[in-house]
Amino acid sequence: MKQLAAAIIVLSLFSCKKNSTDNGGGTSLPPVTTDSFTVTVNNGYGTGKYKTGDTVHIFSTAYTDNQAFDQWSSADISLVNAYQEWHTWFIMPAKDVSFNGAVKTITPVTFQFEMIKGRDRLKPVYYFFPTGHKGFVYLLHGTGGNAANVVNSYEFKQLYKDLVNDNFGIIITEAEEATTGVDANGDGKLRWAYSPYDSVTNVDYANIKAITDTFYTRGLTNRSKLRYSVGMSNGGAFSASLSALFKYTAAVSYCAPSGTPVAQTSTTPFQFCMARFDNNDNVGPQGNADALTNSNLFASRGICSKYFIKEHSPLYPERFTRRGDITLTKSTAVFNELKAKGYLTAKNYFIGYSDAFTAAYTANPASYPEFNGLNALQKLFVLEQIDLAVSDHQMYSDFNKATMRFLDKQCQ
């Protein structure tokens, strides 16, 4: 696996000047060596000593439902990979640097919910249309998920907060198989169906069309508004085919390479957001490579496409406070427990994948008293944050601003 840390350059400042007065006989002064410099992070995490050439990750402090991350500022802002993302990284220079993270106040997103008629039955739909919205985005769940999962997902929430703050409308519904609980195509999964590729015989495309037409009829939005889709995993692959079929303005896939046939034919600009160590059976290293190939295939046809891949990053003691329901004291205690049990490297990168920790905890919960003291939802959140740090198969908010830029401007 690719190591994130770059080669370490040790800078040594040597003094060869003799001092015959002060050290009795002209012996040389010992060399003065500087092998690390200080990173200071205000309103965030990552403060510490780093060697020149190290990859340094910085993270915003946690923020609430009525806040969104704004941007990083610094005299050395040109160093960072993405100054508008809540989590970013840079290569440590041979000097001290500091960064300030800023959050901004926003109006919390309050979805309307109702059952809206699809092709065959009522579908659960969550929606929000800001006044004067410039377009609307369908957010699409992954395999085994549903509409409520998207609404309640912490990472999806950060995305739809940012989208609404940028004046996009949001529509969230679910696959027909998720609504019925029936594996209609017999593939062993409950998820979106990509084929047949039409909006009459394919119930998922037909449902999207019916729900959209309902909002047009009600005047909540109109046909002049731009249309987009963003999906995770199976929802990401569905985003590719959905946006191609209905000729959306742009679309995004998280953690799914999508299909080569779509990349060969679609005229909709498409962005891939992958995870470096995605361990999903349908993705993995080959899926990441396929996504890059498909992105290049789009581009070779003159269709705008971008490709991002999230690298792994270290955990930090405050990471589990991010949602707001785990205290700083408890987050630090869980972090220290992981460290003491040997799950973190010296630089606090998680070793392997979270399933090894889950198996060990399940076998002997009492040996993990801090983690065991969390409620079920908090435990799931800790595991999700570990997966995100590992860069495994999870929806993530690390490229929110990149996604919004793509929806807004594509490759302009």
pLDDT at 2: 36
What confidence tier does 34 reach under pLDDT thresholds 50, 70, 90? Answer: low
pLDDT at 12: 32
What confidence tier does 260 reach under pLDDT thresholds 50, 70, 90? Answer: confident
Sheet bearing 44-45, strands edge to edge: 44-45, 55-60, 87-91
Residues 171-197, mean pLDDT to the nearest whole number: 96
Q: Is the pLDDT of residue 16 over 70?
A: no
Query: Which amino acid would we find at residue 336?
Result: N
pLDDT at 143: 97
**DSSP secondary structure of 21-51:** TTTTS-PBPPPEEE--EEEEEETEE--EEE-
What domains can you pick out in the chain, each with its CATH number? 11-105 (no CATH), 112-312+395-409 (3.40.50.1820), 319-390 (no CATH)
Inter-CA distances, 272 with 198, 394, 411, Å: 23, 14, 13
Buried-state track 262-282, b at ≥16 Cβ within 10 A, e below 16: bbeebebbbbbbbbbbbbbeb
Among residues 218, 112, 106, the alpha carbon closest in space to that of 170 is found at 112
CA–centroid distance for 31 within its chain: 45
Q: Under DSSP, is residue 114 helix (H, G, I), strand (E, B) or coil?
A: strand
Q: Up-side HSE of residue 216: CA atoms within 13 Å toward CB?
A: 12
Q: Is the pLDDT of residue 253 over 50?
A: yes
Torsion of CA 251, 277, 143, 157, to 10 degrees: -60
Residue that is written with structure tokens 């309050």 in the block: 110
31 within 8 A of 15, measured Cβ to Cβ? yes
Q: Each residue of 271-286: pLDDT tens digit? A: 999 999 999 999 999 9
Q: Is the pLDDT of residue 37 over 80?
A: yes
121 within 8 A of 179, measured Cβ to Cβ? yes
**DSSP secondary structure of 61-111:** PP--TTEEEEEEE-TTGGGSS-TTSSEEEEE--SS-EEEEEEEEE-PPP--
What confidence tier does 259 reach under pLDDT thresholds 50, 70, 90? Answer: confident
Q: Each residue of 130-142: pLDDT tens digit? A: 999 999 999 999 9
Contacts of residue 128, defined as CB under 8 A and 6 or more positions apart, other chains included, come to 109, 110, 111, 112, 160, 164, 169, 170
Buried-state track 22-47, b at ≥16 Cβ within 10 A, e below 16: eeeeeeeeeeeeeebbebebeebbbe
- The average confidence (pLDDT) of the chain is 92
Q: Each residue of 117-128: pLDDT tens digit? A: 999 999 999 999
117 within 8 A of 125, measured Cβ to Cβ? no
Q: Under DSSP, is residue 125 helix (H, G, I), strand (E, B) or coil?
A: strand
Q: Is the pLDDT of residue 15 over 70?
A: no
- Which of 19-28, 51-60, 66-75, 85-94 shows the lowest mean pLDDT across its residues? 19-28
Cut 0.85: pTM above it: yes
Query: Which amino acid would we find at residue 112?
Result: Q
Q: Each residue of 364-400: pLDDT tens digit? A: 999 999 999 999 999 999 999 999 999 999 999 999 9
**DSSP secondary structure of 369-388:** HHHHTS-HHHHHHHHHHHHH
CA–centroid distance for 349 within its chain: 17
Q: Which two tokens stand for residue 231?
A: 């999906």
User: What percent of the chain is predicted at pLDDT more than 90?
Assistant: 91
Residue that is written with structure tokens 């993990």 in the block: 368
256 within 8 A of 287, measured Cβ to Cβ? yes
Length of the chain: 412
